Chain A
Amino acid sequence: MLESSVAARTGSKPSELGGSIIAGSGKPFDRKKRLFAMNRFFRYICIASACFVCLILFLILILMFRTGVLTFRDISFADFFFSTNWNPMEEQYGALIFIFGTFALTALTLLISVPLSIAIAVFLSVFVPGWLKNALRPILDLLVGIPSVVYGYLGLTVLIPMIRNVTGSGMGDGILAAALVLTIMVLPTISRISDDAISAVPRKYSDASYALGATRFHTVWKVLLPSARSGIMYAVILGMARAIGETMAVVMVIGNTAQLADSLLKPTSVLTSNIVMQISNVPFDSTWNYALYLMGFLLLVISILMIATVRWLQRKGVQG
């Protein structure tokens, strides 16, 4: 078959007789060379992809910064960060309400979710027998995948009426409702990663601890959790990032009103919800739009700072 195809080629193009001999002999490009060439080529593809991922981050950073910083052409630095007067119709762009809202919401969410998630992680990794563990872990994974709008929708239709009934307040939407919804959302993230971290602690550590006569409480508290610390920290930070950046679930339950959240049950607004509610109806080159991009840049800086903190904590943990 090979000969026939070579013959056909030489038949149609007699001038390339030499070429067909080279192609047939396979010497210049044999299997070994081909493998090494592909190996190298593959390596370059991988390097390019890694560079591309970094490039995206820098593109985003530069773009958000360049657009966001234009805000300060029209309003002062102090006005943006320390004024609570957000009124785009009258050219007032004070973002303190949203910044405060974001921090308050995240803190409240973590306060509720971290102890619960670590308890669930310990439950899954230490308490539950093996067969049940294998059944339960995928179920938690499924919960991670439930879309945020669905959580928002449930918050709106189930949680808010419930809060209204329990507290007797008129509205029900606000920081508390948003924090409860976010807790449910970050719970599987934090507990699943912490569970992985705790399970990854070598078996001999806990065996040694039990052999020394420690109770299960002691083993978990003094051996497993400290050993899994960096993994748990990573889980908490990921959960925190999700809580800070979550948009749609929060939009649906927080009330979207530009007022300072000095009460748990007062409709307010956070950075993400304000951006998504307003971005689609502003012209691109207006101060309003620049201010929204600046708020986005702020979110970006917060999330990157969190990652830096994790790194720093981890390095300190390794040294100490």
Chain B
Amino acid sequence: MKSTQTANPFQGVGKMNRLNNRVFTLLVWIIGAAAILFIFGLLFLILEAGLPNLTWDFLFGLPSEIDEGGGIGPTLINSFYILGISLIIAIPLGMAAGIYLAEFAPDNKLIGFVRICVEALASVPSIIFGLFGIALFVEFFQIGLTILGGAVSLAFLNLPVLVRVTEESLRAVPKELKSASFALGGTHLQTISRVLIPAALTGIVTGICLVAGRAFGESAVIILTAGVTTSGEMWDFNLFSPGATLAVHLWYVQSEAIVPDAQQIAQKAAAVLVFVVLFINLVFRIPLWLKARKMKG
């Protein structure tokens, strides 16, 4: 850099700063735009290959082992069934634990330890819950690969996420709301159920949607605890029948099955999976968006 008569010591710095800033801005814009384009491309790729070819026969038909034209009926039912059971178990437990950590827990070493436990459990790989499920249900209770085992293992997998989401959403509620409720003479339970949870609902529902989507697509746990086959009947709600879900079926068709139309089945199954996950997210969030808009207006 050549020296000038004015000898401004910050001149070079200013130029470098501006250059840095410009390069940085450009880089971030490129990466951001590329990421957004990539996401849309990905969703389009999955949905476009499968959705136009869907038929009712495929959605509710029985899978076939050898011939062409097998459906995904039982696996689709199982997916929703297992998801439902696991959420029924995990939501009350997870929310209660989250409420405890956010509201009741004293700030001491023990609670710090509990928090670490929750965090550790949240980072435990899903396959470990699968191994745990095998040891618990197949070995200890001797009930084999069942829908029940899969659903309970899945609930354990989702529990820590729900705890964290509930705790964080409750903590994000402004202190004034809580104080106002106490000042009006509300008990702690009333404050939590009528003030804090409604105020934190957006965060909690978003968390539940994420968890539900994850549980719907989870496959490692289900393969280990509910198996890769179904009972072969439609509308089988027996808790003790084997319960392969749609996600497991996608893997099975893609890597193990010998049906000639595996490629088409995989395409359509992937499209259905993604569609349902998107659907879960939209249906639960639209009311929240509307509510947020109403409160603003």
Contact between B125 and A216, CB atoms less than 8 A apart: no
Q: Which of B99, B217, B278 contacts A149 (CB 8 A)?
A: B217
* Complex contacts, B118 vs chain A, CB 8 Å: 53-54
* Complex contacts, A191 vs chain B, CB 8 Å: 35
Contact between A153 and B96, CB atoms less than 8 A apart: no
Contact between B121 and A141, CB atoms less than 8 A apart: no
Q: Which of A59, A217, A306 contacts B17 (CB 8 A)?
A: A217
Chain B nearest CB from A146 CB (Å) reads 6
Given A60-B132, A307-B119, residue A245 in contact with residue B125 (CB < 8 A): yes
Residue B233 CB within 8 A of the other chain: no
Q: Which of B123, B124, B132, B278 contacts A237 (CB 8 A)?
A: B123
Q: Which residue of A lies closest to B191 (CB)?
A: A39
Contact between B17 and A67, CB atoms less than 8 A apart: no
Chain B nearest CB from A76 CB (Å) reads 23
Residue A280 CB within 8 A of the other chain: yes
Q: Which positions 173-193 of chain A face chain B at CB distance < 8 Å?
A: 184, 187, 191
Contact between A122 and B121, CB atoms less than 8 A apart: no
Q: How far, in angstroms, from A59 to B153 measured CA to CA in the complex?
A: 13
Residue B199 CB within 8 A of the other chain: no
Q: Which residue of B lies closest to A192 (CB)?
A: B210
In the complex, which range does the number of interface residues on chain B fall in? 35 or more
* Complex contacts, B36 vs chain A, CB 8 Å: 136, 139
Most chain B Cβ neighbours within 10 Å, of A47, A123, A154: A123
Q: Which positions 205-258 of chain B face chain A at CB distance < 8 Å?
A: 206, 209-210, 213-214, 216-220, 223-224, 247-248, 250-251, 254-255
* Complex contacts, A127 vs chain B, CB 8 Å: 25, 28-29, 32
Contact between A215 and B17, CB atoms less than 8 A apart: yes
Contact string against A for B residues 119-140, beta-carbon threshold 8 Å, 1 for contact and 0 otherwise: 1111111111111101110110
* Complex contacts, B120 vs chain A, CB 8 Å: 57, 303-304, 307
* Complex contacts, B278 vs chain A, CB 8 Å: 142, 145
Contact between B97 and A49, CB atoms less than 8 A apart: yes
Q: Which positions 170-227 of chain B face chain A at CB distance < 8 Å?
A: 187-190, 192, 206, 209-210, 213-214, 216-220, 223-224
Q: Which residue of B lies closest to A66 (CB)?
A: B135
Chain A nearest CB from B104 CB (Å) reads 6
Residue A116 CB within 8 A of the other chain: yes
Q: How far, in angstroms, from A152 to B126 measured CA to CA in the complex?
A: 16
Q: How far, in angstroms, from A292 to B128 measured CA to CA in the complex?
A: 11
Residue B45 CB within 8 A of the other chain: yes
* Complex contacts, B46 vs chain A, CB 8 Å: 146, 150, 154
Q: How far, in angstroms, from A119 to B210 measured CA to CA in the complex?
A: 23
Q: How far, in angstroms, from A252 to B254 measured CA to CA in the complex?
A: 9
Residue B54 CB within 8 A of the other chain: no
Residue A111 CB within 8 A of the other chain: no
Question: For the complex, would chain A's binding face be called helix, strand, loop or mixed by DSSP majority?
Answer: helix
Contact between B114 and A39, CB atoms less than 8 A apart: no
* Complex contacts, A311 vs chain B, CB 8 Å: 116
Q: Which positions 79-136 of chain A face chain B at CB distance < 8 Å?
A: 116, 119-120, 122-124, 127-128, 136
Contact between B131 and A296, CB atoms less than 8 A apart: yes
Contact between B101 and A50, CB atoms less than 8 A apart: yes
* Complex contacts, B39 vs chain A, CB 8 Å: 139-140, 142-143
* Complex contacts, B122 vs chain A, CB 8 Å: 238, 241
Q: How far, in angstroms, from A39 to B182 measured CA to CA in the complex?
A: 13
Q: Which positions 214-266 of chain A face chain B at CB distance < 8 Å?
A: 215-218, 220-221, 237-238, 241, 244-248, 251-252
Given A53-B97, A123-B28, A145-B210, residue A218 in contact with residue B21 (CB < 8 A): yes
Contact between A141 and B210, CB atoms less than 8 A apart: yes
Contact string against A for B residues 16-43, beta-carbon threshold 8 Å, 1 for contact and 0 otherwise: 0110110011011101100110010011
Q: Which residue of A lies closest to B119 (CB)?
A: A307
Given A50-B105, A124-B32, residue A150 in contact with residue B97 (CB < 8 A): no
Contact between A54 and B32, CB atoms less than 8 A apart: no
Contact between A247 and B25, CB atoms less than 8 A apart: no
* Complex contacts, A154 vs chain B, CB 8 Å: 42, 45-46, 270
Q: Which residue of B lies closest to A300 (CB)?
A: B128
Instruction: Show 12 A/B contacts (Cβ-Cβ < 8 Å), sorted by A.
Output: A42-B188, A50-B97, A50-B101, A54-B114, A60-B129, A63-B136, A139-B36, A144-B210, A145-B278, A146-B217, A147-B216, A303-B124
A residues contacting B by CB (< 8 A) are: 35-36, 38-39, 42-43, 45-50, 52-54, 56-57, 59-60, 63-64, 67, 116, 119-120, 122-124, 127-128, 136, 138-150, 152-154, 156-158, 184, 187, 191, 215-218, 220-221, 237-238, 241, 244-248, 251-252, 272, 275-276, 279-280, 284, 292-293, 296, 299-300, 303-304, 306-308, 310-311
Closest 5 CB pairs of A and B: A147-B217, A245-B125, A145-B213, A123-B32, A46-B100
A sample of 11 more A-B contacts (CB under 8 A), given A56-B156, A60-B129, is A49-B92, A53-B93, A119-B32, A127-B25, A141-B281, A148-B219, A276-B220, A276-B223, A280-B223, A293-B135, A296-B127
